[in-house]
Amino acid sequence: PTLKDAFAGKFYIGTALNIPQILGRDSASLKVVKNQFDAIVAENCMKSGHLEPQEGFFDFSTADKFVQFGLDNHLFVTGHTLIWHSQAPRWFFTDSLGHDVSRDVMIARMKNYISTVVGHFKGKVKGWDVVNEAVLDDGSLRKSKFYQIIGPDFIKLAFEFAHEADPNAELYYNDYSMANPQKREGVIRMVKELQSEGVRIDGIGMQGHIGLTHPDIDEFEKSLEAFASLGVQINISELDLSVLPNPDFHTGANVSDNFKYDKKLNPYAEALPDSVAKAFNQRCLDFFNLFLKHQDVIERVTLWGVNDGQSWKNNWPVRGRTDYPLLFDRNNLPKPVVKEIIDAA
Ligand code: XIL
C-alpha cells in the first residue's frame, strides 16, 4: 500500500507542487505524487504576486496547469493563498506615487482580486487558504499593510468575498507556530469573532514547519484540540521536519553574515548521520500517530513538497543549506519512515 491507500477513509494526504513540477519538468517526483498522494496545493504559483503581478493583469497560466493536473488525477485541490502579506505585489497597497491607498481602494482591490481568482477556479479548487499568517506569536494581529490600511476587519471581508465568489468552496485560516499558547489564544479569538459575525470558516490550517525538538508535541495537540472544539476541521498544512538548527536572526547574524553563519549551521551537507535519521524517523512517527489519533477532526495532512531536494528548507532561513525534511529522499525513494507510517495507519 501507498500513503494514500493507508490513510483512505481517515484523511487526505497531500503534497505541495512547485513550478518545475507543474510545468512537467520533474517527472520522477510527479510519479510519486500520483502514486502516494490524493491532494495537492501550489507551493508558490497561486500567490497574489504570481496571479496578479500588475493591477488588472492576471496570469493564470501556471495555476491552470496545476489545477488541471489535480482534476486529471482526481486529487483534492487547495488554493494557497488569497490574502497574505508576503509574496504580494507592491501595487496592491500603493498608488502611482508609491503612497498607501485609502481603505476603500484597498477593499475594492482585495474584492476584485478574490472574486477574480476564486471565480476563475470555481468548482475546481475545493478549498482556499483565505487568510494566511495574520496572527503574531503574542496572539495580536500582525500589523501588515492589509491591517494598517483596512483595519482588523480585512480578515472578515476576505472570507466574505471568497464565499460570494464560490459558495461551495471550503474556506480556511492558515498559520504557523500554532503550538504556541499565546498564538493559539489569538487564533481562537479571531475565529470566534468570525463565527459570531456569521462568517463562513470551515477549517484551520496548522502549518507543520517543525523541527526535531520544536514545537512541543503536547502543545501542538492542545492547539489541535482547542481549534477542533470551535467546530471547524483541522488541516495539517505545510508539513516538513527540518533536521537543521534554526538560525535566530534576533540574536545576531545579519544577511551579509549568512554565508559564514550558514556553514556553521549546515552540518549535514555531505550526508545525514544515522543518529539524526533515526531522530527524524521517530519524530515523524510521533506526529503521524498524533494525526491518526485525531483523524475524526483532521481533514487533510499536506507535506510541503515531495522530496528533500526540492524543499524550500534548503534555502530558508538562509540559502545553501542541506536539509532532509520530507518523506522521500533526493532520488524520490521513500525513507524508511514511510513504511512505518503506513503500518501505523
Ligand atoms: C514558501 C515557499 O515554499 C518558498 O518556495 C517561497 O520562496 C516562500 O514561500 N508559509 C507559507 C508558505 O504559507 O506559502 C511558504 O512557502 C512557507 C511559509
The per-residue DSSP string of 283-345 comes to: HHHHHHHHHHHTTTTEEEEEES-SBGGG-GGGGSSSSS-----SSB-TTSPBPHHHHHHHHH-
Q: What is the mean pLDDT of residues 240-258?
A: 63
- Ligand 1: atom nearest CA of 312 is 3
343 Cα: distance to centroid of ligand 1 (angstroms): 31
The domain that holds 258 is classified in CATH as 3.20.20.80
With cell 495574520, the residue in question is: 134
Residue nearest to atom 16 of ligand 1 (CA): 43
**244 vs 154, residue with greater confidence:** 154
Asked if pLDDT for residue 187 goes beyond 80, the answer is yes
Better-scored residue on pLDDT, 274 or 317: 274
Q: Are 284 and 242 in contact (CB under 8 A)?
A: no
**pLDDT higher than 70, residue 248:** no
Question: What is the tally of structural domains in the chain?
Answer: 1
Catalytic residue chosen out of the listed positions 185, 238, 299, 340: 238
- pLDDT band of residue 317 (cuts 50, 70, 90) is confident
Contact 135, 187 (CB under 8 A): yes
CA distances from residue 220 to 137, 209, 287, 321 in whole angstroms, order as listed? 14, 12, 10, 27
Compute the distance from residue 318 Cα to the ligand 1 centre, in Å: 13
Residue 18: half-sphere exposure toward Cβ, Cα within 13 Å: 15
Q: How confident is the model at residue 265 (pLDDT cuts 50, 70, 90)?
A: low
Query: Which atom of ligand 1 is least distant from the CA of 47?
Result: 14
Q: Average model confidence (pLDDT) for the chain? A: 94
pLDDT attached to residue 267: 82
Longest dimension (CA), the chain: 60
pLDDT at site 318: 76
Which residue's CA is the closest to the ligand 1 atom numbered 17? 238
Mutate to test the pocket of ligand 1, among 81, 312, 314 (most ligand atoms within 8 A of CB): 312
- Ligand 1 mutation pick, 316, 318, 319, 323, max ligand atoms within 8 A of CB: 316
Catalytic residue status for 221 = no
| Residue 245's pLDDT band (cuts 50, 70, 90) | confident
Pocket mutation for ligand 1, best pick of 130, 238, 313 (most atoms within 8 Å of C-beta):
238
Instruction: Using a pLDDT cut of 70, give the percent of the chain over it.
Output: 94
- What separation in Å is there between the alpha carbon of 249 and the centre of ligand 1? 18
Quote the pLDDT of residue 145: 98
In the prediction, which pLDDT does 251 show?
Answer: 45
* pLDDT digits 0-9 by tens, 24-78: 999 999 999 999 999 999 999 999 999 999 999 999 999 999 999 999 999 999 9
| 44 CA from centroid of ligand 1 (Å) | 7
Per cent of the chain over pLDDT 90 is 90
What confidence score (pLDDT) does residue 45 get?
Answer: 98
Q: Count Cβ atoms within 10 A of the Cβ of residue 267 and give its class: 0-12 exposed, 13-18 middle, 19 or more buried.
A: middle
Query: Whose alpha carbon is nearest atom 7 of ligand 1?
Result: 312
Ligand 1 nearest-atom number relative to CA 237:
13
- Ligand 1 residue neighbourhood (C-beta within 6 Å): 43-44, 132, 207, 238, 312
Query: Among the atoms of ligand 1, which is closest to the Cα of residue 174?
Result: 13
Enclosing domain of residue 145 = 3-344
pLDDT (0 to 100) of residue 266 = 79
CB 15 within 8 A of CB 31: no
C-alpha cell at 150: 483596512
User: How many angstroms separate the alpha carbon of residue 40 from the centre of ligand 1?
Assistant: 15
ipTM over the 0.95 cut-off:
yes
Kindly report the CA angle at 155 between 133 and 205, in degrees rounded to 5? 40
pLDDT category of residue 121 using cuts at 50, 70 and 90: very high
Distance 306 CA to ligand 1 centre (A): 14
